[in-house]
Chain A
Amino acid sequence: MPLVEALSVGADTAQWTVWGTVARIVVTDPARLAEAATLVKAELAAVDEACSRFRADSELRRACRAGGRPVPVSPLLAELVGAALRAAAETGGDVDPTVGAALCGLGYDRDFAAITGRRVAPGVRVFDTPDWRSVRLRDRELTVPDGVLLDLGATAKAAAADRAAALVAARLGTSVLVALGGDIATAGSSAPAGGWRVLVEDRPGDPRCLVKLPAGAALATSSTVGRTWGRPGELLHHIIDPRTGRPAPAVWRTVSVAAYSCLRANTLSTAAIVRGAGAVRLLGSVPSRLVTRDLDVLRLGGWPT
C-alpha cells in the first residue's frame, strides 16, 4: 500500500497524487504557492514523459525498443539515466536500473495505483537481471541492450524531487520542500525556524519520529512494506535484489537516510534494503534510521533520538 499523507494542508502547502503516491510541497512564502505547484507539476510531467516505464510513448521505452542500437535522447533523460548508472556504480550494483523486466515479470508492470489489490504472485519464478554495465550512455546517446527494460524508479523520483525543489527556489525565490512519497528534497537559502519538520513513519502504528532538516538537506525512506502486491502470505515488494531478480529479503522493514540530495539519500536507502545485514557497514556515519521487521529502531550517523 502506498504512502497516504495524513498531515494537514495549510496556506503554505499544496498536495496531490502522482505516480501512485502523494506529492506535497511546502513553501516559506505562501504567496508563491500556486506558481510553485505549477512548476513542480510541470517538472514531474517532464520526468514522466522522459522515463516512465509504464508509458509506451516515453523516451525511455523508445530507447528500450531500439533493438540494442544507440538512440539520441533528451538532456533530461540523459541526466536521469546517468544518475541511475552512477547510483549503480556507487553501490556496487545494489541499485541497478536493469531490473525493469524482473519487476514486470513479478506483476509490477503498470502504475502502482493500478496493481494495488491485484492477485499476482509468481512465487517460484526467478528473473534474470542484466548487468547495469551493459547499458551505454555517451553524452546524449543511449544504448540499451536488446531485451532489457530499464526501471529508473529507484532514482528518478528522488532526482525529480531534487530538480523540482531547485527549480522553485531558483525561479520564485522562495525556500521549498518537495515530498514525493518517501522522497523529500529542500531548496532555498532558509528553512522554517528550527528546520523543515519531517515526520518519519512508514505504516500507521510503526515507530515514528519527527526530525528537523536544515535548509538544502534531503531525506529518503525505502520500505519493504510500502509498495507491496501479491496475495495473502505471499506479498512482494518493489525493491529488487539484482543478483536474484526477486524482492530483496526483508532484513529491514524501513530505512531512512539524510543527505544533501534526495538522489543520494534514496540511493543509499535503497542499497541498504538490498544489502540487508550489510547495511550498517554500508551506511557507516551517514545519518540514517533503520527499522527491523520486529520494529526495533537502529540509528546511525548522529540521527537524533
Chain B
Amino acid sequence: MMRDTGLRRTWLLTGALAAAGVAGTVAVGLAARAADAGATTIDSVVPSPGPSGAASPALSAGDSTEPGQATSGGS
C-alpha cells in the first residue's frame, strides 16, 4: 500500500517536472521569437557611416540660453 502510494507520488512528481520542462521550453521559444521580432530586421534602418566611421553623429545638448544658429522645425 505504502509502495503504491510512493510510486504514485513519484509519477506525479515526474509528470509535474516534465510539464514544467515543456512549459519552460515553450516559454523560452516564445521569448526568443519575441526577441527576434524586436530585433533589427529589414524593416529597420541600415546604419550609414559618416566620415569618422561612426554610424551616426553624436549630438550634444546646448544651453537653452545660447542663441540658435538655425531652426529645425516642420516644413
- Give the interface of A toward B (CB within 8 A): 2-3, 5-8, 13, 21, 24, 26, 90, 92, 157, 177, 179-184, 192, 194-203, 209-214, 216-227, 254, 256, 258-261, 264, 268, 278, 281-287, 301-305
- Determine how close the nearest CB of chain B comes to the CB of A266; give it in whole angstroms: 10
Supposing A3-B75, A90-B45 touch, asked if A179 and B70 sit within 8 A by C-beta, the answer is yes
Q: A199 and B71: CB pair below 8 A?
A: yes
Supposing A210-B64, A261-B48, A284-B44 touch, asked if A198 and B71 sit within 8 A by C-beta, the answer is yes
Any chain A CB within 8 A of the CB of B38? yes
- Give the interface of B toward A (CB within 8 A): 38, 40, 42-51, 55-64, 66-75
Q: A198 and B69: CB pair below 8 A?
A: yes
Name the CB-closest residue of B to A2: B75
A-chain residues with CB within 8 Å of residue B69 when the two chains form the complex: 7, 13, 26, 177, 192, 196-198
Q: A201 and B43: CB pair below 8 A?
A: no
Supposing A195-B60, A212-B60, A304-B59 touch, asked if A286 and B45 sit within 8 A by C-beta, the answer is yes
Known A2-B75, A223-B75; 19 more pairs at CB < 8 Å: A8-B67, A13-B69, A26-B70, A90-B46, A181-B73, A194-B60, A197-B69, A198-B69, A198-B70, A199-B68, A209-B64, A210-B64, A212-B62, A226-B74, A260-B49, A260-B57, A284-B40, A301-B56, A302-B58
- Quick one: which of B44, B57, B62, B66 contacts A217, CB cutoff 8 A? B57
> How many A-B Cβ pairs are below 8 Å?
170
A-chain residues with CB within 8 Å of residue B47 when the two chains form the complex: 285-286
A-B contacts, 23 of them at CB < 8 A, read: A5-B71, A7-B67, A7-B71, A197-B67, A198-B68, A203-B74, A209-B64, A211-B62, A212-B61, A213-B57, A214-B58, A216-B50, A217-B57, A221-B74, A225-B74, A258-B56, A259-B56, A260-B49, A260-B56, A283-B45, A284-B45, A285-B55, A285-B56
A-chain residues with CB within 8 Å of residue B68 when the two chains form the complex: 7, 197-199, 210
Most chain B CB within 10 A, of A13, A90, A179, A254, is at: A179
Name the CB-closest residue of A to B48: A264
